[in-house]
Structure formats: structure tokens, C-alpha cells
Amino acid sequence: MLRAMQRVLIFGATSAIASEAALIYARQHCRLHLVGRNAEKLRALAERCAGAETTSEAADFSNLEANAALVQRALATLGGADTVLIAHGDLGDQLASERSFAEADRIFRVNYSSVVSLLIPLANHLETARAGRLGVITSVAGDRGRPRNYSYGAAKGALNIYLQGLRTRLHPAGVSVTTLKLGPVDTPMTRDHGKHALFGKAPRVAESIVRALESRVAEAYVPSFWRAIMPVVKNTPESLFQRLPFLSGR
């Protein structure tokens, strides 16, 4: 059970998954501060969170130099934070990233650099407060490079390593850091992908995310069946991996 009036800060709040998480917190009468790129979508989400005290701010996370001030404004609005969820990201164009450094750099900027630019001021605040839960959505794509998405996967893999170090750093302060490794989810971000039985649904995925944050687990595969699948993917010898089209294909 979530604690009423818990202060919840969500970055990337208008994504399909983060929106569902916001609704879960709103139903528990938490105080919400929602941050995302689209002001109109933020207003619509705040209306859906009726019954909870909700504030919001529109921001472009790719403006890295502005993110520390963005975090400070969010914390000031809430008077601190009990739970923080960073949920933004973008698959990018893998083929374009193989031919253009600009696209590869954009993928890294969105999925790694912008997240770290938020994490640094957030971690410093929570460490000083000596309390809090911090969750970051990454991806199973970060567990092994595959031809279909290795630029995106490399950014998420780097983020996974960063979060491992941050988790150990913040542990003495009583701050939990949860790495949320998501498999593919049926959302607008994957609208051009063929769907199959392993695709998660946003409402169920959001429930798992909130449960993992409240339980303070270090690492959660979402949906949970990816915890059994990914060791096979990670540990398959490369000589065999390259001969299996379902793993090595585009």
C-alpha cells in the first residue's frame, strides 16, 4: 500500500507507461509533480489525476545545461521528494545511427546523458535528505548488443552501469535506486514494431514499476519473465549468437 501524500516526482510523465504510473499514485492521493516535453499532454494527464494534488512543468530534457535547475524547481515545488521516476527515452533510428554520428549522438543524449544530468542533482538531494526511492527506466536492450538496436542498447547499457554505482553510493544514506529493465511494451514508441506475445501492456507494466519502487528492489525486469530470458541472451556464445536470426537479425 502506498503512503497517502507521498511526494512523487516523474520525469517523462507523458509517456504511456509513466502516465499509467502517475494514475496509480494519484489514486493513492500522493502529491505529484509531472515533468514532460508537451505542455498540452501534461495538462491532460493532470486532469486525469483528479483527486490528487498535482503540479507540472514542460521541459526539454535534451537541454542538458538546464536540467539541474529543472530538478531544483521540481523539488522546491514538492518540498522534496519521496519517490522519483525517470521514464523518458527514445529508440531512435538504428540504421541512421550507423551512418550518421549526429543520430548516434542524439540517441545517447536522450537515453544516457540527459538521464545522468537529472540523476546528479537528484542523487545529491536524496543523499542529503537520507531518504527516498529513485527509479529509472532502462531496457533489456542494454543487456546485450544486437544489430537491430545496438545504439539504443549501448546507451541503456551504460545507464545500467551508472545506476549500479549510484545504488551502492546511496545505500548508506538509506536511498534505494531501482533499475527498471523493460522488455518491449505496446506503446506509441513501438508503433512501427510487429507485436508478439512478449510485448507488455502499459497499465500492467506501470503496476510492476510502482511495486518495484515501493519494494526498493535493486533491479526489476518488467514484465518479470524477462528475468528468465535475458541470461540466455546474455550468455549465448557470440559464434552461436551470430548464427541465430531471432537474436542477431535486424
Residue from 100, 85, 102 nearest 8 by CA: 85
Using pLDDT thresholds of 50, 70 and 90, give the confidence band for residue 216.
Answer: very high
Residue 55: the pLDDT is 97
Structure confidence by residue, pLDDT tens digits, 51-84: 899 999 999 999 999 999 999 999 999 999 999 9
For the four alpha carbons of 51, 215, 185 and 134, in that order, the dihedral sign comes to: positive
Residue 191: the pLDDT is 59
Residue 185: the pLDDT is 87
Q: To the nearest whole number, what is the mean pLDDT of the chain? A: 94
Flag whether pLDDT at 3 surpasses 70: no
**202-225: average pLDDT:** 96
DSSP class of residue 33 equals: E
Residue 146: the pLDDT is 95
- Distances from the Cα of 195 to the Cαs of 21, 71, 187, 200, in angstroms? 22, 36, 10, 10
Determine if residue 90 is left, alpha or beta; phi over 0 gives left, psi from -120 to 50 gives alpha, anything else beta: beta
Grid cell of 7 as nine digits: 511526494
Residue 5: the pLDDT is 78
**192-216: average pLDDT:** 86
CA separation for the pair 93, 151 (Å, rounded): 9
Assign 182 to helix, strand or coil. Answer: strand
* Inter-helix orientation angle 114-129/67-78, to 10°: 40
Grid cell of 201 as nine digits: 501492456
**232-237: average pLDDT:** 95
- Distances from the Cα of 3 to the Cαs of 20, 56, 105, 119, 129, in angstroms? 18, 21, 40, 24, 18
Structure confidence by residue, pLDDT tens digits, 158-185: 999 999 999 999 999 999 999 999 998 8
Grid cell of 139 as nine digits: 531496457
CA separation for the pair 132, 90 (Å, rounded): 27
φ, ψ of residue 35 in degrees (nearest 5): -125, 130
Flag whether pLDDT at 195 surpasses 60: no
- Portion of the chain with pLDDT greater than 70, in percent: 95
Q: What is the per-residue DSSP string for 118-178?
A: HHHHHHHHHHHHT-EEEEEEEEGGGGS--TTTHHHHHHHHHHHHHHHHHHHHHGGGTEEEE
Grid cell of 48 as nine digits: 486525469
Residue 109: the pLDDT is 98
CA separation for the pair 213, 144 (Å, rounded): 25
Grid cell of 87 as nine digits: 521514464
Domains and CATH numbers, the chain: 7-248 (3.40.50.720)
Assign 87 to helix, strand or coil. Answer: coil
This model's pTM is above 0.85: yes
Q: Which of 41-50, 128-137, 192-201 is the least confident region?
A: 192-201
Residue 193: the pLDDT is 59
